[in-house]
Amino acid sequence: MPHPASPLRPHCGLLLISWLVAVPLPAADPIKEVGQTASDWVKTRAETVRIENAWVQDREFLTSTLDALKERAGRLQDKRDHLLAVTADERAEQAALNAKLADAREKLRETETRLQTLTAQVVQLRPALPPRLSESLEMAYRSLAAKEASPGERMQWAMTILNRCAQFNLGITQGDEVLTLAGEPGAKSVEVIYWGLGQGYALDRAAGKVWRGAPGVAGWKWEPLAGAAPAVAELMAIRHDEAAPRLVSLPAQLKAPATP
């Protein structure tokens, strides 16, 4: 027969605990659940109605606002069409002016290119000018070479130089000059008479010498002209109305100098 302190007694305790755990809890009350569900539905429905009413009010406001914006857009479009019609002539005139301006700019660029070519030619012409004329055009040449000069100013100076050259070429010019002459140790003062742009004669009365001048490759060259002092002196006297006009024979260079 087992002892009262037998190990079977703990097993009985475990069976009791297992029985307690397996006992189900009492079920929820269905009536309370239905009431809670109905209460939640009422609240949801009330919120839905509130949102629908708010949307109806907002929709009316938005619809009226949209209609007002459409009306304003229509008025603005009519105003734009009216302005386009009123300013059609002005816009056409502006387009024509823009076209003329673009054409004028293109012509100005072409003129500037031609002016640069003309300026270079006028500068290259200077060494071939008679010394008296070249010195008198010093200011014009400096102004022509100035970087700050506008195209109009450069054109004006170029025309000034060319006009002075044309005037010089049509007449006989006489006066005293200091020149560097072939066969002389240094520059000396002589009487000079120019026949246009291509011929010149320098006379040293005291020494009885004459030099003939003509444009060369690097500038004017003065070469001795033996035995021509009386003829050049007579030519100068006729020029000053100190002698009766008559033909005076003097050698001249008619061939243009070769370019370098």
Per-residue confidence band for 12, with pLDDT thresholds at 50, 70 and 90: very low
Of the two residues 58 and 258, the one the predictor is more confident about is 58
DSSP code string of the chain: ---TT-THHHHHHHHHHHHHHTSPPPPPPHHHHHHHHHHHHHHHHHHHHHHHHHHHHHHHHHHHHHHHHHHHHHHHHHHHHHHHHHTHHHHHHHHHHHHHHHHHHHHHHHHHHHHHHHHHHHHHHGGGS-HHHHHHTHHHHHHHH-TT--HHHHHHHHHHHHHHHHHHHTSEEEEEEEE--TT-SS-EEEEEEEETTTEEEEEETTTTEEEEEEE-SSSEEEEE-TT-HHHHHHHHHHHTTSS-----------SPPPP-
Q: How many CA atoms lie within 13 A of 148 on its CB side?
A: 0
Specify the amino acid at residue 29: D
Going by pLDDT thresholds of 50, 70 and 90, the confidence category of residue 257 is: low
The alpha carbon of residue 173 and the mean position of all alpha carbons in its chain are separated, in whole angstroms, by 47
88-125 helix and 138-145 helix, angle to the nearest 10 degrees: 130
Asked if 139 contacts 122 with a C-beta cutoff of 8 angstroms, the reply is: no
Please tell me which residue, 208 or 112, carries the higher pLDDT value. 208
Torsion 148-154-158-163 (CA) sign? negative
pLDDT at res. 49: 81
Higher pLDDT, 27 or 98: 98
47: confidence class by pLDDT, cuts 50, 70, 90: confident
pLDDT of residue 4: 46
The pTM score is 0.57
Taking alpha carbons only, the member of 112, 176, 184 closest to residue 149 is: 112
135 falls in which pLDDT band (50, 70, 90)?
very high
The pLDDT of residue 256? 56
β-pairing, 209-215 vs 220-224, is antiparallel
pLDDT one-digit tens code per residue, 53-94: 888 878 888 888 888 888 888 888 888 888 888 888 888 888
CA atoms within 13 A on the CB side of 46: 6
The residues, ordered by sequence, that sit 6+ positions from 226 with a Cβ below 8 Å of its Cβ are: 210
CA distances from 108 to 12, 102, 128, 153 (A): 122, 10, 31, 14
Looking at residue 193, what is its pLDDT? 95
